[in-house]
Amino acid sequence: MVSGNSRFSEEKLGKSYDLKLLGRLLPFAKPYKLLFLCSIFLVVMITLMDLSIPYITKITIDTYIVPSTDFFVSETPGEGQKKTRYLSVRMKQPGVASIVGNYPELFRVKGESAVIPYEWLSRLQEEDLANLRGRDFSGVTRMVLFLLVIVCTNFIFNFAQMMIMEYTGQKIMHDLRITLFDHIQHLDLAFFNRNPVGRLVTRATNDIQNMHEMFTSVITFVFKDLFLLVGITVVLFTINFKLALMSLMVLPVVLYFAVQFANVAREAFRTLRIKLAEINSRFAETIEGVRIIQLFRQEVNNYKAFKRINREHFLAGMKQVRVFAVFLPVIEIMGSVALATVILYGGSGILSGTITLGALVAFISYMRMFFRPIRDIAEKFSVMQNAMSSAERIFLILDQGQMVAEPASDEGLPEFKKLTGLNFENVSFSYIPGEMVLKDISFQVRAGETVAVVGPTGAGKTSLINLIVRFYDPTKGRVLVNGNDIKYYPSKSIRSRFALVTQDPFLFSGTIRDNIAQGSRTLTGQQLSHILTASNCRYLTDSLPDGVDTILSERGTSISSGERQLISIARALASDPDLIIFDEATSYIDSETEHKIQSAMKTLMAGRTSILIAHRLSTARNADRIIALRQGEIIETGSHDELIQQQGYYSRLNALQG
């Protein structure tokens, strides 16, 4: 079952986590090197600005609001209880001397400067106070303006940085998706036998989206946060070494929690992802097989199974929420403890005059800034894990070397022009090693011949065709085209000359016209009209309101399988091939449609080489040669009349079909 498979591979992949992957992503980031550098520069600038804001506050407080020239004098030395803070002014400053002279009872003159207790400042006239502290007022205004400029610049830089990173992330994601898409459409068919559609689609959507997140938010935030942490630490230690040491004492505890969190969160994320993949594949399977589910009345069972997966997904989601719900408050508490330490030691530092008020205020701001990045990084770590495993899964597909092998340029043959003959030379083939589906097949088809292949279901008829169009290569032996091994022709040139009408033709969602024109470059209205008549499709298009421009639903399920086969005959006709390969539908087709298909085939085969796989012997009867296949081996070969005379498998089949 699909879900079982995908679960296995998700788990297997989830465990390995490798930074080497980052290296593999580099080529995708390389075209955007300049943008990345630009972004890093902006991040550095933004961080510096972020760091400067508390520092500017500190300078403002220490220089202008509570100047450090202030000093404290213990008025009652014996008890050491009451301290008075004095403002000191310089007599030389214009206007100061006269103000000091006006209040001789308040000021104490000491040489060049005069001091006044802060408590008495309110006794001065408002005008005098303004004069006295004029320099401080204008200083504060200047600093505030400066701060404003920084905040505005910071805003602009942040905007630019975000735009650049988002742009780059989107671009990389698009490049990656295109690469993946193109790679997948060139892969060998055997790959698709192993990988369910749902899983591949998830790669191109979810996984690529995860990578995008990593490129934008993670790179930006982690880089910014780390830079900020280092910056804050450096600033804290330069402001006050001892206080910095005291306040960062909680750091080891925080780190311990962060690591624990990251581990548990990774596990929770992984479970969540596995459950999501299960939901996706169950959904895909249900939609794909809805007919069978309804036919066998499996709705209730399927519902129950889905409900279980859905609940597991919910529980996994809740577990993740719980992990976050514990971790985030813990970091919050640690932050508060650090803040309390700062206030306790910083406060007493101010009282004892070893720390300035500005330094304490700056410390408090920095401590607040310090814990946000820690939280961010721990959170982003999980996103990173997620993106890494997505990257791993994407590269797993990109590493799939099983492309349809093309000849190396030196051994390649010139472009394939016209078919002169097709040979099977002792060809054996197996899909699964050891289980031979075709055994030692040899036959020849000359140009212009019609060869029919008959045989019971599972005999290997379709497999035979798969080798001719090179969906697969033979396990043993050779398929020769014009006497050369088919491997040495570019598959493109082979396929452009061969047309295949499959058992269950696949039509794309789109108009009938687009489906018919698929194989050929240009079709004029006249050509199309001719093809429609020749392939007996006209009755169909005439009966549809929009004619050839009728839009077929996905896979052409809106028309009958007989009609699908008619359209695919028209599609083969449009490409004007040398070799026609027709895999007759096994499904029941009414005799009228069958007649239409046969007459369309006759037109298609006229003047061309053809290989027909026939279930209805009326199709085989007129072939130049008939090959009867059973269990992967040729049991009879000859014309209709010869085989009837042989009284073997074919003649029994003929007798049965009457």
Q: How far is CA 53 from CA 1, 57, 151, 220, 235, in A?
A: 59, 6, 8, 21, 12
Q: Please report, as a single letter, which amino acid is at residue 101.
A: G
Question: One symbol per residue from 183 to 222: x for binding ligand UTP (CB under 6 A), - otherwise; what is it?
Answer: ----------x-----------------------------
Q: Tell me if 463 contacts ligand UTP by CB under 6 A.
A: yes
Hey, is 614 helix, strand or coil? Answer: coil
The C-alpha atoms of residue 334 and residue 257 are separated, in whole angstroms, by: 10
Among 302, 354, 462, 527, binds Mg ion (CB under 5 A): 462
Judged by beta carbon, residue 337 or residue 635, the one nearer ligand UTP is: 635
Contact residues for 149 (Cβ-Cβ < 8 A; gap 6+): none
Shortest approach of ligand UTP to residue 289 CB, angstroms? 18
Hey, is 308 helix, strand or coil? Answer: helix
From the number of C-beta atoms within 10 Å of its C-beta (0-12, 13-18, 19+), residue 36 rates as middle
CA angle (467 as vertex; 464, 470 as ends), nearest 5? 155
The C-alpha atoms of residue 48 and residue 232 are separated, in whole angstroms, by: 10
Q: Which stretch binds ligand UTP (CB under 6 A): 37-45, 455-463, 573-581, 588-596?
A: 455-463
Paired strand residues for 582: 501, 612
Q: How far is CA 74 from CA 34, 71, 107, in A?
A: 62, 10, 17
Hey, is 425 helix, strand or coil? Answer: strand
Q: Tell me if 122 contacts ligand UTP by CB under 6 A.
A: no
Judged by beta carbon, residue 369 or residue 629, the one nearer ligand UTP is: 629
Shortest approach of ligand UTP to residue 568 CB, angstroms? 16
DSSP string, 121-183: GGGS-HHHHHHHTHHHHHHHHHHHHHHHHHHHHHHHHHHHHHHHHHHHHHHHHHHHHHHHHHH
**What are 275's two structure tokens?**
């459950």
Q: Please report, as a single letter, which amino acid is at residue 291.
A: R
Judged by beta carbon, residue 273 or residue 461, the one nearer ligand UTP is: 461
Q: Count CA atoms closer than 13 A to 377's CA, side-chain side.
A: 19
Q: Count CA atoms closer than 13 A to 546's CA, side-chain side.
A: 8
The C-alpha atoms of residue 432 and residue 566 are separated, in whole angstroms, by: 33
Q: Which stretch binds Mg ion (CB under 5 A): 98-106, 296-304, 440-448, 456-464?
A: 456-464
Contact residues for 32 (Cβ-Cβ < 8 A; gap 6+): 168, 171, 172
Closest by CA to 1, choosing from 200, 201, 289, 272, is 289
Q: Tell me if 457 contacts ligand UTP by CB under 6 A.
A: yes
Residue nearest to Mg ion (CB): 462
Q: Which stretch binds Mg ion (CB under 5 A): 80-88, 264-272, 455-463, 630-638?
A: 455-463
Judged by beta carbon, residue 206 or residue 503, the one nearer ligand UTP is: 503
Residue nearest to ligand UTP (CB): 462
Question: One symbol per residue from 486 to 505: x for binding ligand UTP (CB under 6 A), - otherwise; what is it?
Answer: -----------------x--
The C-alpha atoms of residue 522 and residue 576 are separated, in whole angstroms, by: 12
Shortest approach of Mg ion to residue 502 CB, angstroms? 9
Q: Tell me if 631 contacts Mg ion by CB under 5 A.
A: no
Shortest approach of ligand UTP to residue 503 CB, angstroms? 6
Among 263, 402, 586, 618, binds ligand UTP (CB under 6 A): 586
- Positions 127 through 146 that interact with ligand UTP (CB under 6 A): none
Q: Which stretch binds ligand UTP (CB under 6 A): 69-77, 254-262, 402-410, 459-467?
A: 459-467
Backbone conformation region of residue 416, classed left if phi is above 0, alpha if psi is from -120 to 50, else beta: beta
Residue 586 partner contact from Mg ion, ligand UTP, none using kind-dependent CB cut-offs of 5 to 8 Å: ligand UTP
Q: Tell me if 460 contacts ligand UTP by CB under 6 A.
A: yes
Judged by beta carbon, residue 228 or residue 453, the one nearer Mg ion is: 453
**What are 27's two structure tokens?**
């080529």
Q: Tell me if 596 contacts ligand UTP by CB under 6 A.
A: no
**What are 643's two structure tokens?**
């085989």
Residue 536 partner contact from ligand UTP, Mg ion, none using kind-dependent CB cut-offs of 5 to 8 Å: none
Question: One symbol per residue from 427 to 446: x for binding ligand UTP (CB under 6 A), - otherwise; what is it?
Answer: ----xx----x---------
**What are 280's two structure tokens?**
């996706």
Judged by beta carbon, residue 131 or residue 503, the one nearer ligand UTP is: 503
Residue 431 partner contact from ligand UTP, Mg ion, none using kind-dependent CB cut-offs of 5 to 8 Å: ligand UTP
Among 164, 452, 459, 548, binds ligand UTP (CB under 6 A): 459
What are residue 18's phi and psi, to 5 degrees? -140, 125
Residue 472 partner contact from ligand UTP, Mg ion, none using kind-dependent CB cut-offs of 5 to 8 Å: none
Residue 537 partner contact from Mg ion, ligand UTP, none using kind-dependent CB cut-offs of 5 to 8 Å: none
Interface residues with Mg ion (CB under 5 A) are: 462
Interface residues with ligand UTP (CB under 6 A) are: 193, 431-432, 437, 455, 457-463, 503, 586
